[in-house]
Structure 1
Amino acid sequence: MISDRLLLDNLSFVNLQAAAAELDTLHVALAILAVAATALVVDYAHMLYLRSRMPPGPFPWPIVGNTFSLPKNKPWIYFEELSKRYDTPMITFWIGRNPTVWINDAWCAHEVFEKKAQIYTSRPRMVVFGELGSGQSNLVTMQIRNAAERDHWRIHRKLMHLGVGVQSVRGYRNIQNNESKLVAYDFLREPKEYVKHLERYATSVVSIIAFGRRVASYNDPIITEVIALMQLAADLNVPGTSFPMLLETFPILAKFPRFMPWFKGLGSRSQKGGHYFFYTLAQEALEQYEQKPPAQQAAMPTPYVKTLFEDGAKYNLPVAELSGLTGNLFGAGADTSSSTLVTFVLACCAFPDAMKKAQAEIDAVVGPARSPHWDDSPRLPYVNAFVREVFRWRSVAIIGGQPHSPTQDDSYRGWHIPAGAWVQGNVWAIHHHEREFPDPDRFCPDRFIEGHELHRPFPNEKGYMTFGWGRRVCSGQALAEQGTWITVARLLWGFDIRKARDPVTGEEVDVDIFAFTNGLNMRPQPFECCITPRSEEIREAIVREGEQALEDLKIHDGESRYRMSTFYQKAKRELAEEPVLDEKGNIKIVRVKAV
């Protein structure tokens, strides 16, 4: 009896202990929940407080903000609609807990990005494109939060200007002139492949500038690989409701290992060692250049990589940063320039009257015996306006490139813009504002001619904001404008570009002027067109100039043994640590284990 009673007492004591333990666990869980709930309430209250002071916009939810209100395609149109709904030049849209200020008005963009460039030169925290990509090693994504970072950014900017700054690009006119003559020659021989010809042209120009080596065939895999990489990078800049862009809403997920499913879609950017491809390519090109006879070196512009390596050594720039500078020039110039020229072809098909008016001006000034040159530009005001309209009508960098971020709290028209916020210029909305551009979807170069009924004042002399603003304006703007002018003028002179005809009915097939890709650097969806030489005399001139251009460009012939896809695969297979430089400046592969 006594033992039974003791057993019962022990069991009761054990049960009491278990109950107490469960109660303690419950108390701890309740305490954690209370702390979490309090933190959530405080955080949400802060969001709402900021919202009350910032430009108007949709009401945000806790944690996720407005993320799941985003449309799946072309969010820049949605932001334009919000600006019209609230009747404001800028709106606030919350990506998770981060407010993004979208500027949808040219004058507002000018006042913020240009007049206050000193405090809007930095970038915000970008999880996908920044922290999971090149971060502080790349000019495009560099944040400028203190004096040291500003000095470092200025070094990169200076080195980029050495390659494609305003003072440098006039030295590339001969390259662009010859390569654009080959575009006309290729259009004559194989008009159905016009997109590939334009991609080859744009890639070859920047390849000669960067590496001293041209791209001779549109079948060269470097074209498709680089453009695919740039378009992937562009896609990773457009806000979205699916991964990997949801990492901006839930940045804590970026701390997990890279094999987690939400990292899918980052592509080679998440492969260790992948961003060293352009450095390896540059190193190879420099070796090939230095092996050329002195007379041949003297006859060609000094490749950018030579200047970059020499000046980069003065600042002790690491491999990743040298690679980034080379890649920015080579990759971005190829994708954006070719996309702009494809847009030009679409405009000719959709608005033939504008094309014919430009051709009439060229005929009167240049004639059929030769193609236009930059020296003809002062006597071709309508062609100049035509090129400006190409940049305005369907701008490639449709949301103005990377977001800006103020380094200190700012205000505009009484609205608060907090330090570190995303501030993005909506180029689509700016270039389609009825106040500056009546009938904005109509391709009409006359709107850039003073005195025309569609001409309106604009904050800058160019009449467009295609290349961004302030101190973060696209470094390659001068090169792109120069190359686009000569190519557009030459193709207008040489060809009639019309809608394709149905092979059965013989009727013209309409083109869709709204069918564009969804990335940051948008381009027209594939469409067919009919490209024919305007006369026999012009055809003969195209052949003559094309054959001469091929001869002149022989000095830049060459080939790389590297391919981006195989380089990444090799890096993934062999590298378990970041590559390092040996005493000669070559990349040293550190074999530790298979990755």
Structure 2
Amino acid sequence: MSPSNQLQERLNLLTWGLQPIITKLDITNVFLAVIAIAATALVADYARMLYLRSRMPPGPFPWPIIGNTFSLPKNKPWIHFEALSKRYNTPLITFWIGRNPTLWINDAWAAQEIFEKKAQIYASRPRMVVFGELGSGQSSLVTMRLLNNADREHWRIHRKLMHIGVGVQSVRGYRAIQNNESKIVALDFLRAPYEYVKHLERYATSVVSIIAFGRRVASYNDPIITEVIALMQLAADLNVPGKSFPMLLETFPILAKFPRFMPWFKGLGVRRQKGGGHFFFQTLAEEACQQYDAKSPSEQASMPTPYAKILATEAQKYNLPDAELSSLTGNLFGAGADTSSSTLVTFVLACVAFPDAMRKAQQELDRVIGPDRSPHWDDAPNLPYINAFVKEVLRWRSVAIIGGQPHSPTQDDYYNGWYIPKGCWIQGNVWAIHHHEREFPDPDRFYPDRYLEGNEYKRPFPGERGYMTFGWGRRVCSGQALAEQGTWVTVARLLWGFEFKKAVDEKTGEEIDVDIFAFTNGLNMRPVPFRCQILPRSDEIREAIVREGEQALRDLKVHEGETKYRMSTFYQQMKKEVGHEPVLDEKGDVKIVKVK
């Protein structure tokens, strides 16, 4: 072998021997390069966060990637944001959910300036992973993002269709329904006062069921009540910022790309991703239209046309898919039942905890109305204290405690020199707004007098209503007029009819105090269960309650009916009937796919 060949062979042997080391070095270099790139990206992203923080309203210092998420309290974060606003002495605070800044408005005048005066640019929604992308997304009026002209036109169509159902001009046509159903609530309170929460849930559910489907809910044992309210309360829980799953998906949105069987999706529900809720409400709407068409002309003339029937006709002009049609009736049916009943449970708590306000209202009712009939909206001009009482119910413990869904600006904006970036999450903290000592001295006291002229507690407040319970601007609650109308007549009638008192311990004979701070944690909060006594105020009033309630039952007979569908068993029922399972295609229309 020549010297050159020997040298080449030795080099080959050396290279072969060093190959594992070279390979290992290559892997190490790649690994180090990846780490370097990731570290650079992390530093750059954190620098972006700190730069934004220097321009935005003050708030706690954020950590990289996780922001301030893990400093959130387990319950009632709106109280935490109120405390931060006081600590930094500012109407707006910035709180980082992961890498994204969220702004919280804790002042009525700032909310008015931003959400009302600049309503056009604050009408959109931010990116919402849990309630938006994993929920209804662009198919629902509530969650639609307005990122371009097509989105805005799409949203206007939905808003127009919702106004047909519950707009200011439409709700006066529902007064007879609300009036009769509230008379039945009074009758139910007389017969089974200990079930007052169920009576109020039945009332609220029945009103929206008649409006949406032309069919009343006659019994509080009807499963559709508890199922729909439970669904709405779940949805409310999915709107409260949190440091546990599924709300941690807002901090780590990449996890939303994983298959739905992963543990962090627990609590969302499989049907939620399949659009099942949409098809359930669509099925109810189709059933309601068939039942309405089967009624005689005289029966149809004696009742409002169900919203589902109106929607089926109107929506043909816009070629809306099934998911969007059903979301309109679903939003009306679900949200109206939960929020209205929660408001009325809060009213009962206020009467028990603050009997002086209740008695003052009853004195006015006795003077103006008397014991022979219950109050009506026509009496409102002569009942200034009742009007103030209802306002205080809506202010004292507002149900939509963080003002509904978050807003998001469609362009960069400024407030008092602070930067508000396009697309950020901005929310009104109704708790802080309604408990600001400047507008509402002694805010936890239920004190309707604060709304009366000449009272020392009366303070200036933006807007004529004196509260911001239903949100702001173009995203104000569509059902506000219906809710206010129903709350007024029900509160006035129950104050006229009943004395609300603390429950008495059977063993000790002592009164059981109620806790005015014991409320649930969801977006739509309500009092935790409490006991109380509900007693008719006189024999004359008792007789009037029975007379009016029985007449109301006769008047509502045209709305009697029953659905054969139940949310909890809907899919099993559909598979039993047709052997297939309903889902939604990419366009949002219902299709049937065979179950394997």
Tell me the TM-score normalized by structure 1: 0.96
1:519 maps to 522
Amino acid of the residue matched to residue 119 of structure 2? A
**CA spacing shift, 1:517–1:48, aligned 2, 3 Å:** same
Alignment correspondent of 1:105: 107
Amino acid of the structure 2 residue aligned with 1:578:
V
Q: Judging changes above 3 Å, is the alpha-carbon distance between structure 1 residues 398 and 86 closer, same or farther for their aligned structure 2 residues?
A: same
Q: Which residue is 2:593 aligned to?
A: 590
Task: Indicate the residue corresponding to 1:300 in structure 2.
Answer: 303
SS of the residue corresponding to residue 36 of structure 2 reads: helix
Distance in 1 (CA, whole Å) between partners of 2:157 and 2:296 is 32
What are the superposed Cα offsets for residues 554-586 of structure 1, whole Å, 9 maximum, x if unpaired?
0000000000011245679976783469xxx99
Which residue does 1:212 correspond to in 2?
Answer: 214
Q: CA 1:13 to 1:126, structure 2 compared with 1: closer, same or farther past 3 Å?
A: same
* 2:513 maps to which of 503, 510, 515: 510
State the match for 1:315 in structure 2: 318
Alignment partner of 2:583 out of 575, 578, 581: 578
Amino acid in the other structure paired with 2:118: K
1:389-432 CA-to-partner distances (Å, cap 9, x unmatched) read 00000000000000000000000000000000000000000000
Assess if the C-alpha contact under 8 Å between 1:211 and 1:286 holds in 2: yes
Displacement of 1:131 in angstroms is: 0.2
Query: For each residue in 1:264-301, what CA deviation from the matched residue of structure 2 results, as whole angstroms up to 9, or x when unmatched?
Result: 01124234533211111101001100011111111110
After TM superposition, the structure 1 stretch with the greater mean CA deviation from structure 2, 358-367 or 23-32, is 23-32
Query: Unpaired segments of 5 or more residues in structure 1?
Result: none
For the pair 1:401 / 2:404, whether they are aligned, the reply is: yes
* Distance of 1:400 and 1:413 partners within structure 2: 22
2:272 maps to 1:274: no
- Aligned 8 A contact 1:272 1:572 in 2: no
- Aligned to 2:593, the other structure's residue is in SS state coil
Tell me the distance in 2 between the aligned counterparts of 1:303 and 1:13.
Answer: 84
Provide the rounded CA distance (Å) in 1 between the counterparts of 2:40 and 2:260: 32
Deviations 1:314-337 (A, max 9, x none): 100000000110100000000000
In 2, Cα distance between equivalents of 1:237 and 1:54: 23
2:183 counterpart (169, 181, 203): 181
Identify the match of residue 171 of structure 1 among 173, 178, 189. Answer: 173
2:451 & 2:235 partners in 1: Cα distance? 33
Q: Distance in 1 between matches of 2:103 and 2:64?
A: 18
Equivalent residue for 1:285? 288
Distance 1:143 1:310 in 2: 26
Contact 2:215 2:562 in 1 (8 A): yes
**Residue aligning to 1:46:** 48
Match of residue 161 from structure 1: 163
Q: 1:575 to 1:79 in 2, by over 3 A?
A: farther
Correspondence for 2:416 among 413, 418, 443:
413
Distance 1:580 1:291, change over 3 A: farther
How far apart in 2 are the matches of 1:272 and 1:423?
Answer: 28
Note if contact 1:391-1:464 (Cα within 8 Å) is conserved in structure 2.
yes
2-structure distance, mates of 1:557, 1:104: 45
Look up the SS of the partner of 1:578 in the other structure: strand
Equivalent of 1:347 in 350, 366, 371 = 350
What are the within-5 Å matches in structure 2 for residues 456-475 of structure 1? 456-475=459-478
Distance 2:28 2:99 in 1: 30
- AA partner of residue 221 (structure 1): P
| Counterpart pick for 2:127 among 116, 119, 125 | 125
Counterpart CA distance in 2 for 1:81 and 1:112 is 21
Task: Tell me the CA shift for residue 517 of structure 1.
Answer: 0.1
Q: 1:8 and 1:491 mapped to 2: Cα distance?
A: 102
> 2:132 is aligned with what amino acid?
G
Q: Return the alpha-carbon distance in structure 2 between the equivalents of residues 571 and 26 of structure 1.
A: 57
Describe the SS at the equivalent of 1:590: strand
Amino acid at match of 1:525: V
SS in 2 for 1:143: coil
Find the counterpart in structure 2 of residue 231 from structure 1: 233
Secondary structure of 2:583's match? coil
1:272·1:571 contact (CA, 8 Å) conserved in 2? Answer: no
Change (3 A) 1:589 1:117: same
* 8 Å Cα contact 2:66/2:99 also seen in 1: yes
The within-5 A match list for 1:351-390 is 351-390=354-393
Q: Which residue of 1 aligns with 2:76?
A: 74
Q: Alignment partner of 1:589: what SS?
A: strand
> Residues 586, 35 of structure 1: CA spacing in aligned structure 2 closer, same or farther, 3 A cutoff?
closer
Return the letter of the residue paired with 1:71.
P
**Contact map agreement 1:273 1:572 (CA 8 A) in 2:** no
Work out which of the residue numbers 433, 443, 448 in structure 2 matches 1:445.
448
Match of 1:55 in 2: 57
Which residues of structure 2 form unaligned runs of 5+? none
Q: Would the alpha carbon gap of residues 575 and 412 (structure 1) be closer, same or farther in structure 2, given more than 3 Å must change?
A: farther
Runs of 4+ in structure 1 off by over 3 angstroms are: 4-12, 568-581, 585-588
Which whole-Å CA distance do the structure 2 matches of 1:176 and 1:245 have between them?
A: 37
* Equivalent residue, structure 2, for 1:422: 425
Counterpart CA distance in 1 for 2:7 and 2:343 is 92
**Cα pair 1:404 1:424 within 8 Å, conserved:** yes
1:90 aligns with 2:77: no
CA shift, 1:450, in A, is 1.3
SS in structure 1 opposite 2:96?
strand
Q: Per the alignment, in what secondary structure is the counterpart of residue 156 of structure 1?
A: helix
The answer to whether structure 1 residue 490 and structure 2 residue 493 are counterparts is yes
Q: Secondary structure at the match of 1:370?
A: coil
Check whether the contact 1:372–1:489 (CA below 8 A) recurs between aligned residues. Answer: yes
Tell me the equivalent position of 1:548. Answer: 551
What is the TM-score normalised by the length of structure 2?
0.96
Q: Aligned partners of 1:101, 1:192: CA distance in 2, in Å?
A: 42
Q: Distance in 2 between matches of 1:285 and 1:367?
A: 40
C-alpha distance in 2, partners of 1:14/1:565? Answer: 68
1:332-373 per-residue CA deviation (whole Å, 9 max, x = no partner) reads 000000000000000000000000000000000000000001
Which string of whole-angstrom CA distances, capped at 9 and with x for unpartnered residues, describes residues 124-156 of structure 1?
Answer: 000000000000000000000111100000000
Q: CA deviation at 1:92?
A: 0.1
For 1:549-568, list aligned pairs within 5 A: 549-568=552-571
| Corresponding residue number in structure 2 for 1:27 | 29
AA matched with 1:502: D
Please report how far the alpha carbon of residue 21 of structure 1 lies from its aligned counterpart in structure 2 after TM superposition. Answer: 1.1
CA distance in 2, matches of 1:94, 1:572: 45
In the TM superposition, what whole-angstrom CA distance separates every residue of 1:28-51 from its partner, at most 9, and x where no partner exists? 111111111111111110010000
Query: Do the aligned residues in 1 keep the contact of 2:275 with 2:323 (CA within 8 Å)?
Result: no
Report percent identity of matched pairs.
Answer: 77
Mapped partners of 1:571, 1:22: distance in 2: 59
How many residues of Structure 1 are paired with residues of Structure 2 in the alignment? 590
